[in-house]
Structures are given as C-alpha cells and as structure tokens.
C-alpha cells in the first residue's frame, strides 16, 4: 500500500476487504473505517469498488462507518483525472458517463445508509473528495482542512452530488435566493479553503461541525462521533427537497455570467462552465417554474452538464496540464 495507509490500522484493525487503492477496516465495536490509499487518495475506479462493498455491507458487517486516512497531505484530492484523461483521449464517452453516474450513485447511497457515516477530514479535500465529505452524515474536521470544489479550473463541475450538496447547505443557512447566489459564487471562484473555519464560511461544512486542533486526535474523535451516533439510535435523513428557481432564476443569473464575460472578470472557458452551473442550481431546463422538488432535479443536471463539459477542448487541455501530460 502507498504512504496514505493508516499505520495504526495495520497493527490494531482487521481488514474486511482491500485492493491496491482502498481498504475497509474493522475497528471493533461495530465500527468500520474506509481508507483510500492511492496517490493523494484520489478516488479511482478501484477505490469506488471498495466503497461499493462498504455500502453493501453497512448494517450487517458494521453499524457505523468512518471515512479517513493518516496521509499527512490529503483526505482525498478527488476523482481520478488520469482516468478521465485516458477516456477523453480515446473518445470513450460511455465509460466517462458510467464513471460519473457510478460515483454520484454511490454517494447518494452513502447519504441514505441506515448507519452513521462520519468523515475524518483533513488536508486537501477537493472535488470528489470534498463531495464524499458533503454526503457523510457528520464531519469531524482538522483545523487545517483545505476543502474546495475547484472543478471549474479544469473545465468541469462537481458531478458526484457536489453542486447539489453545496446548494443544500447554502439554502439551509441563507434561504433559497441568497443561498443560490452564495453557491454560485463559491463554484465560480473554485477556491480552496485555507482552514476548517473558512470551509464552514464557504458552505462546505455545516455550522457546529466538530473541529479538532491536533491532527493525531482526528481519527479517534471521528470514531467517537460515529460510536455516539450509533449508540443513540441513528436514523438516516429523508431525501431532501430544494426550492429551484426555474427559468426566471436561470435567466437572471445567466445574465450576470454574460456581464462578467463582457467585463473580463470571467474568461470564456469559465463562462462556459458557469452557464452549466447556473442551469444545474436553478433546475432549468428540467423544471421551468420556481418550486420545491426532489434533489434528483439538480443531480440529473450535474450528470448532463458533466457529459457536455468533458467533451470540450478546454477540459482536455486543463486535465492534461494538471496530470503533467
């Protein structure tokens, strides 16, 4: 295994299942730990396979799940860009669509699990890594957490439920209209937070999230949180609904994107992504009228937008640059 492995688990925990990319550990007392141990703990196809096994075993093999690792750098740097690059260069759009849908579907299953899921988040939690944190029932964060959804910088959007989960948190705090504006601003900036406190301000952590100062205390605190949730009788939350603005909100915020493009405050490739994000977060064109609908509206929008954006030359250029191609 790579240097992302939790060294203490090798000594004190029992492996339930593992491959070269991830392991599921039995921590005892009905608690399991999912550890990704790829380079920067990226979530490749093999890591998703272990997550899928964890989802299938939840409630029978274990009663609570912690997601974490002891890598000094990252909780997870996100989806596997090397895989995306390989599929784009081959023109294998079906494989990419399946990867996007598989990841999003698994994350929705995580959010709906009948057992508590706690993310022990530290270091970089970016893209798909941030998204799995967003889908966990609780987060215990290291004070130095550097969370973010920077997909706009590679010509993409968060398509594993990240747009939707960010919108949920922003709407919870600010209401439908101001929450929409905040979520759009966060996704347009593509900023990576400098701390857990800033992550909360951006809407990536809910107010009241447990934050620990000592990195060595993070995993034990997450295990304690999972045990407490399990012992008090955890009930998974019902699938949430959102108030989508429909076509009126779409046209309003799209006009702002065009104004930003004309003024030079956003570049052409960024405007292309923002047009897609505006559609996802307003629910348009899936819904045209303002109203409250299941979050499947924006989830389907995420997948459709990701499929369009991954085919653009800008996305290929940006991904190639990031992987050093």
- Tens-place pLDDT, residues 201-259: 999 999 999 999 999 999 999 999 999 999 999 999 898 999 999 999 999 999 999 99
Residue 158, domain member (yes or no): no
Instruction: Give 167-171's long-range contacts (Cβ < 8 A, gap of 24+).
Output: 167/242, 167/281, 167/298, 168/240, 168/242, 168/295, 169/134, 169/203, 169/204, 169/206, 170/203, 171/242, 171/243
Residue 270, domain member (yes or no): no
Q: Which residue has the tokens 């998703």?
A: 48
pLDDT digits (tens, 9 = 90+) for 129-176: 999 999 999 999 999 999 999 999 999 999 999 999 999 999 999 999
Domain extent, residue 23, equals 7-150+191-236
Residue 123, domain member (yes or no): yes
Given phi > 0 = left and psi -120 to 50 = alpha, else beta, which region is 118? beta
Percent of the chain clearing pLDDT 90 (strictly above):
92
Indicate if the pLDDT at residue 4 is higher than 80: no
Indicate if the pLDDT at residue 11 is higher than 70: no
Cα separation, 63 vs 39, in Å, equals: 29
Residue 13, domain member (yes or no): yes
Can you tell me the mean pLDDT for 12-29? 91
Mean pLDDT, all residues of the chain? 94
Closest CA to 55 of 27, 32, 80, 76: 32
Residue 267, domain member (yes or no): no
CATH of the domain at 87: 3.90.226.10
Residue 279, domain member (yes or no): no
Indicate if the pLDDT at residue 308 is higher than 60: yes
pLDDT digits (tens, 9 = 90+) for 101-141: 999 999 999 999 999 999 999 999 999 999 999 999 999 99
Percent of the chain clearing pLDDT 70 (strictly above):
96
Can you tell me the mean pLDDT for 185-197? 97
Cis ω before 285 (30° cut-off from 0): yes
Confidence at residue 9, expressed as pLDDT on a 0 to 100 scale = 55
In the structure, what pLDDT confidence band is assigned to residue 323 with cuts at 50, 70 and 90? Answer: confident
Tally of domains in the chain: 1
pLDDT digits (tens, 9 = 90+) for 49-88: 999 999 999 999 999 999 999 999 999 999 999 999 999 9
Can you tell me the mean pLDDT for 83-97? 95
Confidence at residue 91, expressed as pLDDT on a 0 to 100 scale = 95
CA dihedral 288, 290, 295, 298 (to 10 degrees): 40
pTM for the structure as a whole: 0.94
Residue 101, domain member (yes or no): yes
Indicate if the pLDDT at residue 45 is higher than 90: yes
Residue 262, domain member (yes or no): no
Indicate if the pLDDT at residue 13 is higher than 90: no
Can you tell me the mean pLDDT for 19-42? 95
Q: Provide the sign of the torsion angle of the four alpha carbons 146, 151, 157, 158, taken in this order.
A: negative
* End-to-end CA gap in the chain: 25
Can you tell me the mean pLDDT for 282-300? 98
Can you tell me the mean pLDDT for 270-290? 97
């Amino acid at each position: 295994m790579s240097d992302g492995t939790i060294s203490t688990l090798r000594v004190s925990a029992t492996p339930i299942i593992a491959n070269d990319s991830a392991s599921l550990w039995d921590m005892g007392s009905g608690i399991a730990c999912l550890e990704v141990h790829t380079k920067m703990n990226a979530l490749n196809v093999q890591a998703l396979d272990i997550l899928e096994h964890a989802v299938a075993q939840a409630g029978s093999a274990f009663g609570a799940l912690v997601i974490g690792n002891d890598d000094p750098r990252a909780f997870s740097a996100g989806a596997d860009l090397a895989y995306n690059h390989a599929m784009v260069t081959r023109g294998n759009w079906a494989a990419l669509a399946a990867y996007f849908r598989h990841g999003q579907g698994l994350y929705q299953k995580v959010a709906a699990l009948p057992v508590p899921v706690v993310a022990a988040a530290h270091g970089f939690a970016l893209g798909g890594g941030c998204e799995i944190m967003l889908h966990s029932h609780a987060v215990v964060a290291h004070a130095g957490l550097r969370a973010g959804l920077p997909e706009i910088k590679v010509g993409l959007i968060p398509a594993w439920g990240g747009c939707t989960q960010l919108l949920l948190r922003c709407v919870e705090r600010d209401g439908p209209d101001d929450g929409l504006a905040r979520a759009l601003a966060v996704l347009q900036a593509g900023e990576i937070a400098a701390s857990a406190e800033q992550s909360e301000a951006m809407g990536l952590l809910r107010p009241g999230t447990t934050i620990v100062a000592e990195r060595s205390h993070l995993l034990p605190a997450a295990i304690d949180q999972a045990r407490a949730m399990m012992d008090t009788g955890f009930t998974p939350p019902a699938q949430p609904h959102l108030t989508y603005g429909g076509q009126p909100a779409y046209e309003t915020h799209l006009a702002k994107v065009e104004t930003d493009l004309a003024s030079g405050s956003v570049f052409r490739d960024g405007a292309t992504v923002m047009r897609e994000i505006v559609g996802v977060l307003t629910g348009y064109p899936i819904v045209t009228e303002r109203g409250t609908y299941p979050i499947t509206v924006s989830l389907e929008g995420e997948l459709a937008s990701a499929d369009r954006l991954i085919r653009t030359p800008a996305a290929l250029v940006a991904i190639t640059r990031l992987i050093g191609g």
